[in-house]
Structure 1
Amino acid sequence: MKILVTGASGFIGGRFARHALEQGLEVRVNGRRAEGVEHLVKRGAQFVQGDLTDPDLARRLCIGVEAVVHCAGAVGQWGRYQDFYRGNVEVTENVVEACLKEHVRRLVHLSSPSIYFDGRSHLGIREEQVPKRFFDHYSKTKFMAEQKVFGAAEFGLQVLALRPRMVTGAGDMSIFPRLLKMQHKNRLAIIGNGLNKVDFTSIQNLNDALVSALHVGEAALGKAYNISNGAPVPVWDVVNYVMRQVHLPQVTRYRSFGLGYSAAALNEFACLLWPGRPQPTLSRLGMHIMNKDFTLDIARARHHLDYAPTVSLWAALDEFCGWWKAQEHRGRQ
């Protein structure tokens, strides 16, 4: 099978493209940074550089491929709506249109469980529990992108969407790096009582789910799937495990949610006024994430994708910490 992986210069797209090559698939990759995919080219991937906001490029990328795994998109908690709309909705529209014009058989879309977030604690969230209003630009535009994907099913494109929660492993730059930098400066504190449970996803388990999504039968199509390790843990236990592994002091200070939320709101307001609108160190969403229960029901993925997470969170964290320490060591040389 020949596939296209978008966003391959990023963490998830890059790790999946490597996994697909190891599985014997023929892989074409796209990304904005050539240096981010050199390791994939060395393993046999075909690289086509370019910006997916260009519909002509998207169509060229889809020529001759049987399936697309769409991992590209705008991520983060901070930024302008138009940037998130362009990176998530417009790019996905271009990919969908290219798939239809080039008769690609299947599109597997990487979405996000951030669409569920409404500022409250939730345990065992099911795929249909999408709120009427979205918390931020990212979650809104990710849901809009999903709808573009599912809308293509009526034109014959086989579609699925995966919503993986807090993916980690070697190469992860989204979850722990900022927390590690804050703890280096002794600025990190436990928000609330520190007992809130959350889901994580080992990158190897997500890779298995994506491969399954490429091959599953008709009954699995046209659906969104929650993906996680299926074993919720207190988030601060995870944070302190990482701190121990990289030889930093554990987080022991506590801060009330109200105080943390107010400080984050002030920080965001100051960044809005500052030239260039830099990303705030503290955010209101971050306070919610570090204080609220947030776990997923993965029964649908278990049933339709035969998804059975085998790699533990602790193994994924060990992989991340080994990689992080190696990066720091190289940086000191």
Structure 2
Amino acid sequence: MNILITGATGFIGASFTRSALAQGLRVRASGRRGERLAVLARLGAQVCEGDLLDAGFALQLCQGMDAVVHCAGLGGHWGRLADFEQANLGTTENVVEGCIKAQVRRLVYLSSAQIYERSSSAAPLREDQVPPRKASLQAQTRFRAEQRVFGAEEFGLQVVALRPAPVLGEGEPWLWPGLFELCGRGRLSLLGDGLNRVDFTTQANLDHALLAALFAEDDALGRVYNIANDQAVPFWDVLNYGLRQLRLPQLRDYRPVGLARLGTRFGSLARQAWPGRPRPPLTPHDLGWITQDNCLDINRARQYLGYQPQASVWAGMDALCQGWRARDTTGKYR
């Protein structure tokens, strides 16, 4: 099978490119970072550097492909609306158009579970529980991109979308760097009662889910799937586990969530006024996720994709911390 993987120089796309090559698939990998594409080329991928906002480039990428796995996009909760619209919506529109014109058989779209609101109960969230009003810019643009993808079914394109819970693995670029930075400076405490449970998706399990979507049977098409480890765990236990791996002090003191909420709002407003608008270590949306229960129902993925999570949360955190130590030049985390 000839497949195109967009966003192959990003956190998830690079991991899936390596996984697909290991499965013997013929991979065309696209991205905007030449040095990372060079690494994938040495592994056997055909690499193409360019911007998916160029519709002509997107069409060229899709030529001769049996399937496209669209991993490109902007994650996290920091940026302008225009940034999110271009990265999540504009690129998707061009990829969808490229698939239709090049007669690609199947498109797998990597969305995000960030489109959900936090549940008011402990019951896991199902795929149909999307709120009418999306709280974050990522949620708004990811959901609109999903709609573009599913709209392509009327042109004969087979489509599948995945909504993974936050992904644990080497190179995660958004949440964990900010948390480790705060912990290293002694500026984070256990928030609330410290018992809220959340779902993660390990990098290896998401790779498995993407492969399953590529080869899914007809009855699995035209659906969106939650992807998670199916093992909701106390968030603060996972963070403290990572801190132990990095030989940083454990979090033991408690702090009210309300005070932290004020702090993140003030910090975000201040960063918006700085030159370049640098991302704060923790945004208000990040805070909401790490202080509330957040669990996903993955029964649909089990039934239609045959998805069975294998790699544990702890294995994902091990990989994340190993990568963090490998990039550290100060020796602080070794």
TM-score interval, normalised by the smaller of the two chains? over 0.9
Change (3 A) 1:44 1:123: same
Q: In the superposition, relative to structure 1, how do residues 330 and 67 fare at CA in structure 2: closer, same or farther (>3 Å)?
A: farther
Contact map agreement 2:200 2:229 (CA 8 A) in 1? yes
Q: Please state how far the C-alpha of 1:214 moved relative to its aligned partner.
A: 0.5
C-alpha displacement of 1:182? 1.3
* Partner in structure 1 of residue 258 of structure 2: 258
Q: Offset at 1:279?
A: 2.0
Deviations 1:33-90 (A, max 9, x none): 0112222100110111000000000000001010000000122211111111111111
**Which range is displaced more, 319-328 or 63-72?**
319-328
Alignment of 1:281-296 (within 5 A): 281-296=281-296
Deviations 1:12-53 (CA, angstroms, capped at 9, x unpaired): 000001100000000000000011222210011011100000
Q: Is the 8 A contact 1:109 1:159 kept in 2?
A: yes
Which residue number corresponds to residue 63 of structure 1? 63
* Equivalent position of 1:24 in the other structure: 24
Find out whether 1:39 has 2:47 as its counterpart.
no
Deviations 1:285-331 (A, max 9, x none): 12211210000000000000000011111112112222222222588
**Matching residue of 1:139:** 139
| Residue aligning to 2:117 | 117
Q: How far off its partner does 1:139 sit?
A: 0.6
Query: Which amino acid in structure 2 is aligned with residue 282 of structure 1?
Result: L
Change (3 A) 1:145 1:193: same
Match of 1:78 in 2: 78
Deviations 1:226-284 (A, max 9, x none): 00000000000000000001111111222111111111111122223333333223321
What is the CA–CA distance in structure 1 between the aligned matches of 2:315 and 2:328, rounded to whole Å? 20
| Runs (5+) with no aligned partner, structure 1 | none
Name the SS of the counterpart of 1:123 in structure 2: coil
Match of residue 297 from structure 2: 297
| Distance change >3 Å, CA 274–CA 326, structure 1 → 2 | closer
Which structure 2 residue ranges, 5 or more long, are not aligned?
Answer: none
- The match for 1:269 is 269
Counterpart for residue 101 of structure 2: 101
Matched with 1:161 is: 161
Show the counterpart of 2:323: 323
Change in 2 beyond 3 A, CA 1:174/1:122: farther
Following superposition, the deviation at residue 196 of structure 1 comes to 0.3
Are 2:233 and 1:246 aligned?
A: no
Query: Cα distance 1:173–1:280, how it changes in 2: closer, same or farther (>3 A)?
Result: closer
2: CA distance, partners of 1:121 / 1:34: 45
| Mapped partners of 2:57, 2:108: distance in 1 | 19
Q: Comparing 30-39 with 111-120, which one deviates more in the overlay? A: 111-120
Deviation, structure 1 residue 120? 5.2
The offset of 1:118, in angstroms, is 5.1
Aligned-residue RMSD, C-alpha = 1.7
CA distance in 2, matches of 1:271, 1:43: 40
d(CA) in 1 for partners of 2:330, 2:178 = 19
Scaled by the length of structure 2, what TM-score is found? 0.96
Query: After the TM superposition, which of the residue ranges 120-129 and 66-75 deviates more from structure 2?
Result: 120-129
Give the whole-Å Cα distance in 2 for the aligned partners of 1:107 and 1:225. Answer: 14
> For the Cα contact (< 8 Å) 2:4–2:69, is it kept in 1?
yes
8 Å Cα contact 1:121-1:294 kept in structure 2: no
**Deviating 4+ runs (over 6 angstroms):** none
Higher deviation after alignment, 197-206 or 276-285:
276-285
Q: Deviations over 1:105-164 (max 9, x none)?
A: 000000001100258565300000000101111110000000000000111000000011
User: What SS does the corresponding residue of 1:290 show, helix, strand or coil?
Assistant: helix
Q: CA deviation at 1:171?
A: 2.4
1:148 alignment counterpart: 148
After superposition, residues 161-200 of structure 1 pair within 5 angstroms as 161-200=161-200
